Amino acid sequence: MSKVKILVVGGTGYLGQHLLQAYAHANANGTPFAFDLAFTHHSSPPPRLLLDAIPSSLPFQVDFKTGSGFEAISNTFVPRACEIDPDNAHAINVPSSLVKWLQSFEKNRTLLIHLSTDQVYEGEKSFYKEEDNAVPVNVYGKTKVAAEEFISENFPNFAILRSSIIYGPQTVSPVAKSLPIQWIDGSLAKGEKVEFFHDEFRCPIYVMDLVSIILALTNQWISEGKQMQLLLNVGGSDRLSRVQMAEAVALFRGYDTSLIKSVSASSVDRGVKSPADISMDITKLVQTLKIYPVSFKDGVRLTLTTEARE
């Protein structure tokens, strides 16, 4: 029997790198299901730090707007026998080329785990459930809804994960994007007042909890081999404003909380409409996978103590 093939789409990104490390660690430590590991990247070449950290994984350059690069994965890795620019955002966020490629393989032999967002919700109440209407208020959310619909209508086996803000330690090959906890920490460390919104609410999720969720779904699919059509909210256990997030970092570090200036989100023009409250009910996640995301307080501690050891 050939090994299971796991392809991490966007393996050089923040979540992608953490996933690659987790899969590689599981493989090296006797997971019940040995697998071959690969990842896609857009830039060329992929970061040397990442390649050195996970030498057993295969990198593939793929353009998701055109689908260019999938054929190389098929030939090398997978046995074939078995707001500004909404059009561009749609082309990138709706994985039509990926789904078309996956459709070329034997039916029911592939699971697609797709990362969506809490931005699909309108933001007019607290603790949205999966069955609530998805009424996004910005282009990003609309393209993510379109992606969910496209996958559910065109692919038989999927798990769609509606993620909130993802936070945690830096990756082995540092990503250029600003990481939430690190940005708050760095800003407050200067000893100057910093503005944070008090009236936007999210359920930030610790990156290793999200990794555990994806690994659990992978193992369930491999062990049971049953068709999966799953939609899950994957937020953390706490509903928080940006002010409350900053306060958690300040309390852990011992910063003066008077540095945190509470302002309304309506006072800043970010060029895009942002929903006020897209906190999520994660009851279905807990019941389905028996995974309990850590509190934000514990996530901050894990993030900052992990980086202090590195």
Q: In the numeric block, which tokens belong to residue 69? A: 């690069």
| pLDDT the model gives residue 248 | 98
**What is the residue whose two structure tokens read 């019941």?**
287
Give per-residue pLDDT as tens, 109-166. Answer: 789 999 999 999 999 999 999 999 999 999 889 999 999 999 999 999 999 999 999 9
Q: Render pLDDT for 7-32 as a digit per residue (tens, 0 to 9).
A: 998 999 999 999 999 998 887 776 66
CA nearest to 100, candidates 57, 65, 76: 65
Mean pLDDT to the nearest integer, 166-175: 94
Residue 47 near residue 173, CB atoms below 8 Å: yes
pLDDT for 86: 66
User: 141-154 burial string, b = 16+ CB within 10 Å, else e?
Assistant: bbbbbbbbebbeee
Listed residue (18, 8, 68, 71) closest to 40, CA to CA: 8
Q: Is the pLDDT of residue 81 over 80?
A: no
Instruction: Determine the number of helices (DSSP H) and then strands (DSSP E) in the chain.
Output: 11, 12
- In whole angstroms, what separates CA 45 from the centre of its chain? 23
DSSP SS3 for 229:
strand
86 touches 134 (CB < 8 A): no
Per-residue pLDDT at 213 exceeds 70: yes
Q: Are 5 and 110 in contact (CB under 8 A)?
A: no
The amino acid that residue 303 corresponds to is T
Residue 89 pLDDT greater than 60, yes or no:
no
Q: Structure tokens of 17?
A: 């790198």
Quick one: pLDDT at residue 237?
A: 97
pTM of the full structure: 0.89
- The pLDDT value given to residue 80: 44
**Strand, coil or helix: what is 97?**
helix
| Token code pair at residue 247 | 């306060």
Q: Which residue has the higher pLDDT, 283 or 42?
A: 283
Enter the tokens of residue 239. Answer: 């509903």
Percentage of residues in the chain with pLDDT exceeding 90?
64
CATH architecture of 4-178+203-237+279-294: 3-Layer(aba) Sandwich (3.40)
* Bridge pairing between strands 112-117 and 158-163: parallel
Kindly calculate the radius of gyration of the chain based on its CA atoms and give it in whole angstroms. Answer: 20
| Residue 220 token pair | 């369930």
